[in-house]
Structure 1
Amino acid sequence: MILPKAIQPGDTIGVIAPASPPNLSNLKKAIPFFENLGLKVKVGKYVEKVHGYLAGTDEQRLEDLHNMFLDQEVDAIICAGGGYGTGRIAASINYDIIKTNPKIFWGYSDITYLHTAIRQQTGLVTFHGPMLASDIGKDDFHPHSKESFNQLSEPEEIIYDESYSKLTTICEGEAEGPIVGGNLSLIVNSIGGDYEIDTRGKLLFIEDVDEPPYRIDSFLSQLKHAGKLDDAVGVIVGDFNNAKPKKDRPSLTFEEVLDDYFKPLNKPVLSGFNIGHCQPHYAIPLGTQAKLCTHTKTLTIEPGVIGGSS
C-alpha cells in the first residue's frame, strides 16, 4: 500500500477528464472552491475536448492522466466528472509512472475502473469523492461534502456512524480489511478482464445511480457467481440514487434485492451510507484498512494520506 502525501495551502490541484465531457460551466464554477482553500488549479490540456461521448480521444485522455502524474508542480489529481470511458484507457496506462510519482487521485462513478486498476497495479491509495463538474460546481453542493476534502490536508481517521445518515443492518457481524469497490456497474464491467476487482479479504463498497431493482439484481448476481461476495469479508452499501422500479412492470423493491443477496452471507453488511451520487456525498479513501461493525453501526477508516507535501 502506498499512501499519497497530504496537500497544503499553495499546492496545486490537477484536473483531468478521463471519461465523458464534463459540464464546463459547472467545472469553472468549481475552481474557486479550491482557490478558497489556498490551492492552485491546473486544468488538463484536453479537458474541454469532445469526442462523441468521450472527453477527447483515448490518446488525449491518457496523455492528460500521464502528464498530471509526471508534473512535479501538481500535488493532487481530481477528476472533472464521470460518465463513460475510463475502461477504454486502463490497458494503455503506464502504471510505473503512477507508482514512481504517487499523489492523491480523486473521483467516483466511471472513475471506479481507474481506482481498481491503479490500486491493483501500483498499491496507491485513491479517493472516492465528489468531482468538479458533477458536484462541486453545482448549486446544491452540500457543506458536508465540502468537509470531506479536509482529509486530504491532514491524516485523519474517518468514523462514519448514524450521525451522518441512518444505517440499516442487512447481515450482522464485524470485519476488518481494506476498502475496495465503487460504482457497482463498473465493478461488474471489470469481471473477466485484466483489471477484475479482487475482493479477497476486503470490505466491498458499492453504489450506483438510476438503476432499477432488476438491474441491480443482475449486477449482484454476477458478483455472486464470480465469487466476489464470498471473497469479501463484509459489504458497505452506499447510495443507490433513484433505484426505483419501472412504473409499467411488477418489481421487487431495492431493499428486497439487497436482502436476497446479502442476508445469507453470514458476514457484516450495512446499508445507508451517503457515499455516491448523492448530496451530501462523503468521500472515503480506497485501499486503506477499515473496520465495519453492525453492532455499533460504524465504519472506521484509517487515513488515506501521510504527512504533508514538500
Structure 2
Amino acid sequence: MARLPQPRSDLARPRKLEPDDVVALVSPASWSDESWVAESVATIESWGFRARVGRHATNRLGYLAGGDRERAADLDAAIQDPEVRAILCLRGGCGSLRLLGDVDTDALRSDPKPLIGFSDITALHQVWHRAGVPSVHGAVAGTRMDTVRQLLVGERGEPVWCDRSQFGADLTTTGTASGPLFGGNLDMLARTVGVVDNDLEGHVLLLETHREVGLGMVDRAVTQLLLSGALAGVSGVAVGALEGFEDYQDRDWTVLDVLHERLGSLGVPILAGLPLGHLESPISVPLGVECVLDADAGTLTVAPLTA
C-alpha cells in the first residue's frame, strides 16, 4: 500500500455514516425523471441510510431542476440540517455554476458533510475544496456504485487501477506523485477560472471530459487553466474517461494528441485510463484528501473520505 502524505492542516473531514443516518438527495443542476429519483432513493435505503429528497429536487425549468433560488435553497437546507450526513446530487447536466455564490460555506465548515457528484457538479466541488471539506467525485450508478457506500462508512477502498484497454490510457507516463487529489470535469474547471480561486499547488489534478464539440474546446480549456496559473505547482495528473472521443479526429489529431502536447508542458507524472467520470459504471473517489499516483504501477491510491 502506497504511503500517503500528511493531510492538509485546514482539512475538515466529515464523520463516517452510521445506520439510519440521513442522505439528502438534491438537484443543483439539471432535472432527473421520477424513475431515477425513485431508484436513487431505493439504493440509499438499501445501504441502511434514510433518503431525504429535497423539496424542489423534482422541479423543472427548461433543462434546469427549477429556478436558481429553489435549487440553492435545497442545497443549503441539506448543509444546514444536522441530521443530514451526506449530500447526493441526483445528476449533473447544467446549472451548478449559477449557485456558487449561494452556498452556506460557514455552515458547511462547521458541520462538514460530503457532496457526491461529477461532471457539472465539479463547480460545487470547488466550493467544498475551498472550504476545506472533502467531497466525492462519482455517482450512485452502475455496477461500481458501492464504492460510494464504502467511502461514506469510512472504508479505505482499494487503489484505483489504470485500465490499459480504456481509451486514453496511452497518455500514461512514468514516475510517482503525491498530494491532495482535486479536479473533475475539464470544461467546468476552466469555466470557473476567475470565479473560484483554487490553489492547486502540490495537488494531484484529476481530469475527465466528454465530447460536446471538437478538439479546440479541449485545447482552450487546458490552455486557459495553464495561462491562468491554476495548474502551477501541480504534482501529477490523473486522467479519467475521455468519453465520445474514441473515434474522433480533427486534421489527423485526436484528443490524445491535444492532451499530450498540453499536459506534457507540466513536466509531471501522468496516469491515464482511470475508470473515473463519464462511464456507465464509474468508480467514485474522494476529492480534497491525500493520494499517491504511481504511473509505473498504474495505480491511484486515495486516503479515506471520513475522519
Q: Same fold (TM over 0.5)?
A: yes
Contact 1:270 1:294 in 2 (8 A): yes
Alpha-carbon shift at residue 258 of structure 1 (Å): 1.7
Say what the alpha-carbon RMSD is for the aligned residues: 2.0
Stretches of structure 2 that go unaligned for 5 or more consecutive residues are 1-10
> 2:201–2:231: 8 Å Cα contact kept in structure 1?
no
Kindly indicate whether residue 88 of structure 2 is the aligned counterpart of residue 78 of structure 1: yes
The range that moved more, 86-95 or 42-51, is 86-95
Matches within 5 A, 1:88-127: 88-120=98-130, 122-127=131-136
Q: Does 1:4 align with 2:5?
A: no
Task: Indicate the SS of the match to 1:292.
Answer: strand
Give the CA deviation at 1:175.
1.3
| Shift in Å, 1:183 | 0.6
For 1:94-243, what aligned pairs fall within 5 Å after superposition? 94-120=104-130, 122-131=131-140, 136=141, 141-142=142-143, 144-162=144-162, 167-168=169-170, 170-193=172-195, 195-211=196-212, 212-243=214-245
CA contact (8 A) 1:235 1:268 kept: yes
Q: Alpha-carbon deviation of 1:245?
A: 6.6
Residues 188 and 219 in structure 1, CA contact (< 8 A), matched pair in contact too? yes
- Percent identity at matched positions? 29
Instruction: Give 1:300 deviation, angstroms.
Output: 1.1
CA shift, 1:80, in A, is: 0.7
Please tell me the residue identity of whatever aligns with 1:128: H
Q: Which one of the candidate residues 45, 54, 65 is aligned to 1:55?
A: 65
Residue aligned with 2:180, SS: strand
Quote the Cα distance in structure 2 between the aligned partners of 1:37 and 1:145.
Answer: 11
Alpha-carbon distance in structure 2 between the residues aligned to 1:245 and 1:220 = 21
Residue 104 (structure 1) shift: 2.3
* Paired amino acid for 1:288: V
Deviation of 1:32 after TM superposition, in Å, equals 1.3
> Which residue identity is paired with 2:95?
G
State the secondary structure of the residue aligned to 1:56: coil
Deviant stretches of 4+, over 6 Å: none
User: Which residue matches 2:278?
Assistant: 277
Q: How many residues align?
A: 294
Q: Cα deviations across residues 79-115 of structure 1 (Å, max 9, x unaligned)?
A: 1111111111111222111111211221111110111
AA in 2 matched with 1:187: L
Deviation track 1:104-153 (CA, whole Å, cap 9, x = no partner) reads: 22111111011111221x2101111114xxxx3xxxx22x2334421211
Per-residue CA shift, 1:230-263, capped at 9, x if unaligned?
421111101111025768x634112111211123
Query: Paired residue for 2:30, among 20, 41, 60?
Result: 20
The letter for the 2-side match of 1:37 is W
Partner of 1:43: 53
> Secondary structure of the residue that 2:101 maps to in structure 1?
helix
Report the Cα distance in structure 1 between the residues aligned to 2:248 and 2:238, rounded to whole angstroms: 26
Alignment partners' CA distance in 2, 1:273 and 1:105: 21
- Decide whether the 8 Å contact of 1:213 with 1:251 is kept in 2: no
TM-score in terms of structure 1 length: 0.88
